[in-house]
Chain A
Amino acid sequence: MLHWTIAVFGEENYLDYWKKLEPNLLSVTNGWSAAYGMFTKGEVPIVLSYVTSPAYHLEYEKTERYRAAVFQDGHYRQIEFAGILKGTKRIKLAREFIDFMLSEKFQNAIPLTNWMFPVIQHQPLPDSFRIAPHPKRVPELNPARVNQQNSKWLKEWSRTMSQ
């Protein structure tokens, strides 16, 4: 969310956005879990989650009650990844495992277990994914810039939010 505001509003204006948002925030949690728990227990009407979240509720709870809002300015993308450590002693095994992760069988299991879009789509998405919108725009920040600036942004952000 922080990166999204920086990508959309720029480094000069993102804090203004947060200042306007702050009075409407019930809480900022230490992770997705607590926030989403509060959301599903009816404590809040809106939560920051994934566009794929409604698919879970459709698949297991047979309800279309939960919807993902589509942002005009696009959505920030969360990429989950796997890597091989530089100093590994079992490079061959590690490569084989990454190949396995990219295999059809593995990727087909992603939507209904990790509730994300697969990296390689081998078969049509499960029916419940019809409720997950495909964002048209995906604003992004250069990873090198994130790496360099993140700690500064976090600092500025937490100071703005706890005044």
Chain B
Amino acid sequence: MNALSCYHCGDEVIGKGYYIEEKAFCCNGCKTVYQLLKDNNLGAFYSLEANAGVKPNVSSIHKFAFLEVKSIRDKFIDFEDDQTARTTLFLPQIHCSSCIYLLENLAKIEPNILSCQVNFTKREAVIIFKKEAFTLGQLAVLLDKIGYAPNFGNRSETEKKFDNTYLYKLGVAGFAFGSIMLWSFPEYLGLGTDNPEFRNFTSYLSFAISIPVILYSANDYFISAYKALRFKSLNLDVPITIGIIALYLQSTYSIFAGNGPGYMDSFAGFIFFLLIGKWFQNKTYKTLSFERDYTSYFPVAVTRIVHKTEEITEIENLKINDHILVRNEEVIPCDSILLSDSAKIDYSFVTGESKPINKFKGDFIYAGGKLIGQRIELKVEKESSRSHLTQLWNDVKTDKKNPTSFLYQDKLSAYFLTIILLIALGSGIAWSFIDPTRITQIIVSILIVACPCALALSAPFTFGNVMRLLGRKGLYLKNTRVIETINHITDIVFDKTGTLTKGSSHNVEYIGDELNHDQLEALYSLSNSSTHPLSRSIVRFLRAQNISSNEEITGFDEVSGKGISGTINSLNIKIGNPSFCEQKSIDKNETSSFILINNSTKGRFVYTSELREGISELMTSLHKYTLHVLSGDKDRDKSILEAIFPNNSQLLFEQTPKDKHEYIEKLKNKGKYVLMVGDGLNDAGALGIADVGIAVSEDVFRFTPSSDAIIEANKLSQLANLLSISNFSKTVLKICLLFSVSYNVVGLSFAISGNLTPLVAAILMPISSITIVLLSTLLVRFKK
């Protein structure tokens, strides 16, 4: 069967779909967006990239009602005058050039929008609109309608400034490096001493220009080294700082003593290369924003009922005993008590249970659940910042142990420093016999040349390259530290639902009396009228048997969470759970829908979750790790899992998020390094506490509160390969280390013998840095 894919978003079209001309759409939302684009001559959207669209949400006017509150609205307006207003919105769904095309042509769709400029890297759009005729709320609804729901969560303001600081520092160091090299040229040709007056002039010039380099460009290293020393530990920045200071002081001394320009060119060049390394590393993961914490998922504002009138207020302003109103699809903002008669709440974010829970009047409702169905009234019991969800996630953040203790580089720098100090001491003693006047010069030269610049560059470049490579293969890491941690992993823990099995699709099996063609067609028509995931599974199951139909249904009724019924061609059909069909359930562990045709039971559809492709191969290739499965579900899939997991694996069922959390904690206490793979929502706690938490995501833009990495769902089967790439970085690092050590040996031999002239330093230092950069880049390329 060849599945039809939606012209707009590329999803599989289930059921009869929606059509305009020959183009199929998976839902009315996609169809509407297409129509909108077509009517406004923006059809080029589809020619840029096929199926580029984002499936739009069902937008409600209430969703952005909070933007009508002036104090909230003003937070998002950058600038306004009499007629126009400018806003910068974060649109996490921006993902391709078609998105840019569509958004930048927003003005064609809505004449009140004057301009829209997209920043792809930050996924932001700067929109200028006429504020008289058009509100920020309307803008948000429009964007939501075409699939780019703005995210009004709190974003960090510091991000942009931080980035530019790197560039400024880089600019200063580059300027100094180039300039000093220019007038040091006679020095390189050995003509330095020919004209002492000129030499003095250029030396002082070099000194003047190097001041901003040491005070501004290099200050990160000093701060980092100082912090490390204050906590009585060593990181790589300590020997670097010693090297920088020695280099700088020696050169300054040499300049003021009239002995020539010293090593100012090497000094500036060294800082320049170091900063390039850092900038590169930073750039690699800038594109992926992990900034979205739970606050961005929570509504910014809620409707509060005061003296029987509704008003919109910020969550922070909610007080205990306030009455609030929550509508369909909204998140419960704080722990509260239900005042309405009943409510259906989807807690899949918190507990992982995919079926909505029924709550009745007076029940306690935890924050974080999503309301499904009719609007409800709640009484606030706890203020939001102290609520259930926040607590769980906040705990996670503080619990996460800082893995610095076993950082490869830091351990190395301790050895490094000791060896250098010993060598300096040894040569000092030796030279006290040979020529005591040169002791200081020798020791300073040793410290200069031993400065681990190549070593310092090898890590950011290797890790940066590995991260890019992994990103291209579908595994996005939060930072380079994750790579180092992955190399220590001993145990891998999998969540089941949404991780090993597909999130929403099910395998369907029919058990019961054989049904004739008419009956099957009727079942198809009925199921196709419902959007429930189980109905969709039935539709897919029937379509696989070449059943399709478009018959009129009379008396269609859907009892949410129970079943559907209707009459098609005189067949009265009911599909639903046992109580809906007045049946006794046969096996409590199975999920099934019973079928009643003209009030007689025909059989039932049984759903089993479907494993992702390549999972069993993955398990065999992960043999060097101990594997565990923690499932929140009942153990109905135990046999399937037992078949694919190695014998020594642990399979545990009916685990609450707390159990998972504790299980991982226990493993860690046993001295294991744990990698947890989960879907990022219902096992946030466990992901957070694991040494490395990988969230499996159907789309990469999805919210992941506490994971260290995100993996694309269809790339999960490649996990073993991805881990081995990550491990490969260690080998690359070792090779780079070997190179950098051999450079150091050569340099040291010059220094110890008292032959380290500025020329030698000027050649040796950049060459060692450049080779390391090339080496790490090429090796990672080669691995691919």
A-B interaction: no
Binding site for A on B (CB under 8 A): none
Binding site for B on A (CB under 8 A): none
